Chain A
Amino acid sequence: MDTRRAAILYQPPGLVPFAQAWRWQRQLQQRLLAEPQALEAVLLLQHQPCYTLGRGASTEHLRFDPADPPLPLFRIDRGGEVTHHAPGQLVLYPVLDLQRHGADLHRYLRDLEQVVIDLLLAELDLVAERSAGFTGVWLEGRKVAALGVGARRWISQHGLALNVDCSLEGYAAIVPCGIAQRPVGRLADWRPGLRAAALAPQLLERFSARFGLALRPPLPAEALEAAWDSDPRAGIGAA
């Protein structure tokens, strides 16, 4: 008997502007807030290059003037310090009612880490690990997955970003997650030729197994609002 609960999987194609994905997440979060019985949802996508800061993040970890960022910069409603998104990075945004998953934010973060750890071991034969006090997933001392979560009434948004074959150049302009002397890495450096898209199905399978979800595509009535032409500068300023 499959005891997994249904959840909706959105996989927007192409490179999604950060502001668009954020808007979608809030739309999904609103739906769960308004209808507590509504299905949970997951977004899996890749972003156009950008930087994001957690709500309490320090701008000290930026190696540029926040008023004049080299890439779009957003201060967003998640925990954690600055991070970078770029094509080749798998970004997973679960919009879950965490009360259905134990109502425990630390446990949720550990579960997200475990999804990546299990994925790397099973699919790539790579032994990744946690580092106590440094949330994220680490491979030989390099951080390959960054986490940041925000919740309202236990409805989550934001999530994890796994560096598969993205360029790491953008990280040079920041201190990722505010941790100096702890470099970031990408899986393609261990498994040459690996592409983000190729790893996406397995990531979803690991995620849905750990969280007891059965992912399915959206019904027409569940479609996200149409993409809108966002001004990439729209989110700036708050930083």
Chain B
Amino acid sequence: MATHEIFMPALSSTMTEGKIVAWLKQPGDKVERGESVLVVESDKADMDVESFNEGFLAAVLMPAGGTAPVGETIGLIVEQEADIAAVAASAAPAAASAAAAPAAPASAPPAAATAPAAAPPPAAAQPASAAPLAPPTPAPLPSVSAPPLLAVAAPAANGRLVATPRARKLAQQLGVALEALRGSGPHGRIQADDVLAASGQPVSLPRVAEGPGPAVAAAPAAAANPAGVSPAAAAPAAAGQAFGRPGETVPFNALQQAVNRNMVASLAVPCFRVGYTITTDKLDAFYKQVKGKGVTMTALLVKAAALTLARHPQVNAATSEAGMAYPAAINVAVAVAMADGGLITPVLAAADRTDLYSLSRHWAELVERARQKQLKPEEYSTGSFTLSNLGMFGVDRFDAILPPGTGAILAVAASRPAVVAGNDSSISIKRQMQVNLTCDHRTIYGADAAAFLKDLAQLIETNPESLAL
């Protein structure tokens, strides 16, 4: 049985999630190749999402009005009409959650429109216009509150909670506590409709079909491919930006030339890299709590790095002709790609001593002015430590190039669900992200980097609430 997933497309490099305005097809409808299946909205722009396959819409996994992260599976198309029922009816939990989960990482760390780093050249070529993360879609869904979230994430071990994956997902998005519900499904299993009813959402249309079984086997790589499948097919979205057309050679602009000089200069620095895997469940939960107050993931990461740097001044230091230079303050720069090429590193000064909410506001303002090319030199050239976040693209690891005049840069990848074996032989699913610290060995040694990362991980894993203090 051939099943094709429909993904939430990336309509912009700064888009992390999109709102489904309408399904133009209903489950069971015939779909032609190239025919519009649904409409997605982000900011003030709508885009028709087309099917790359001829077939039948078998399931709508996110109803109109809902918001889904870029890359999330939002619908399923089957090639044979006879398969509709099987896909729509089968509520094989494992398979469906497998379909939904890996696609979702972008929801966690992305937040701001930050992008590449003084990172490797290919990344620098990424588009990412640095518009502040549009707090876009006025989502009609109530925002998630923490308790139900945790309840969803960790079903009680004893009184086992039985709910379909779609129901869990909806509960998380609608802020409904699953334990409070009585399921209408087989053996009291909680269905998506039960969650919708509990949240006051209309249950009737469009019907939310439960995910299918093993057929959801589209190549993972397809997640990068917005609406569908064959990359050769007409369309759109995640197309990378190029500055020239085929056959052309395009001169570097001034900003690109500046980046080039810095990147080449880094070749004279004896760098090494140390990686660490950080569990982010608590950070993600905390982020959901404070997101409504305007806090961005970028601000959280900056704050965490800054507080850790305060205890590891060696990692904030840099090599100068006179020796090891210890800056007077902890100024965290964050790499932001410019839409028309090059990148810039706006600086959050004294980030360890600035409160999280001010950092978030200040960051949004810096990014906006960076985009308009209105930053003053001291606003982008005074970083003592740099952060580069590619998490919003779902990147699972990368390393960054050290900007001149600093000692270290931290590359932050996406937070993704992972199967984790505990020291007590337990097995669990946790969200994890990889970070990778690039250091100048003249000033920062391996042990310095390792100790910094250990403390950073501990802060993020055990005590993210302290970032708001």
Contacts and interface: CB of A to CB of B under 8 A. Distances in A.
A132 B41 CA distance: 17
Interface string A102-133: 11111111100000000000000000001011
Contact of B127 (A55, A102, A109): A102
A153 B47 CA distance: 8
A104 B41 contact: no
B42 A153 contact: no
Interface in B360-385: 364-365, 368, 371
B236 A99 contact: yes
Given A79-B43, A151-B47, A104 B13 contact: yes
A105 B46 CA distance: 9
Interface stretch (A44-52, A87-95, A142-150, A221-229): A142-150
SS of A interface (majority): mixed
Contact of B44 (A103, A104, A147): A147
Contact of A110 (B22, B46, B131): B131
Among A99, A105, A109, A110, max chain B CB count under 10 A is at A105
A105 B47 contact: yes
A103 B239 contact: yes
Nearest to B243: A102
A106 B130 CA distance: 10
A105 B15 CA distance: 9
B120 to A, nearest CB: 21
Contact of A150 (B43, B46, B127, B241): B46
B237 interface: yes
Contacts of A12: none
A132 B132 contact: yes
Interface in B202-221: none
A79 B46 contact: yes
B43 A106 contact: yes
A11 B136 CA distance: 33
Given A104-B13, A104-B127, A107-B12, A54 B46 contact: yes
A153 B48 contact: yes
A68 to B, nearest CB: 24
B50 interface: yes
A107 B46 contact: no
B45 A152 contact: no
A37 to B, nearest CB: 13
A151 B46 contact: yes
Nearest to B339: A107
B131 A79 contact: no
B41 A153 contact: no
Contacts of A99: 236, 239
B45 A105 contact: yes
A176 interface: no
A154 B45 CA distance: 11
B75 to A, nearest CB: 17
A69 to B, nearest CB: 21
Interface residues of A, number: 31
A132 B36 CA distance: 31
A132 B368 contact: yes
A80 B134 CA distance: 13
A154 to B, nearest CB: 5
A208 interface: no
Contacts of B47: 105, 150-152, 154
B329 interface: no
A124 B223 CA distance: 47
A80 B44 CA distance: 5
Among A80, A102, A104, A152, max chain B CB count under 10 A is at A104
Given A56-B21, A79-B41, A132-B364, A153 B236 contact: yes
B138 A110 contact: no
Contact of A106 (B22, B36, B131, B138): B131
B121 interface: no
A104 B45 contact: no
A223 B388 CA distance: 50
Nearest to A130: B368
B135 interface: yes
Interface string B18-52: 01011000000000000010010111111110100
Contacts of A130: 368
B204 to A, nearest CB: 19
A105 B11 contact: yes
Contact of B45 (A108, A132, A133, A153): A108
Given A104-B13, A104-B129, A153 B234 contact: yes
B14 interface: yes
Contact of A153 (B21, B138, B235, B364): B235
B10 to A, nearest CB: 9
A55 B134 contact: no
B43 A154 contact: no
A153 B131 contact: no
Contacts of B44: 54, 78-80, 109, 135-136, 147-149
Question: Closest 3 A-B residue pairs measured CB to CB?
Answer: A106-B12, A56-B21, A80-B44
16 contacts: A54-B41, A80-B44, A105-B11, A105-B43, A106-B11, A106-B14, A106-B15, A107-B131, A109-B45, A132-B132, A132-B365, A132-B368, A135-B44, A149-B45, A151-B45, A151-B48
Interface of A: 54-56, 77-80, 99, 102-110, 130, 132-133, 135-136, 147-154, 178
Given A78-B44, A79-B42, 18 more contacts: A55-B41, A55-B46, A56-B39, A56-B46, A77-B39, A79-B41, A79-B43, A104-B14, A104-B129, A106-B131, A107-B127, A107-B129, A132-B365, A135-B43, A150-B46, A154-B235, A154-B236, A178-B138
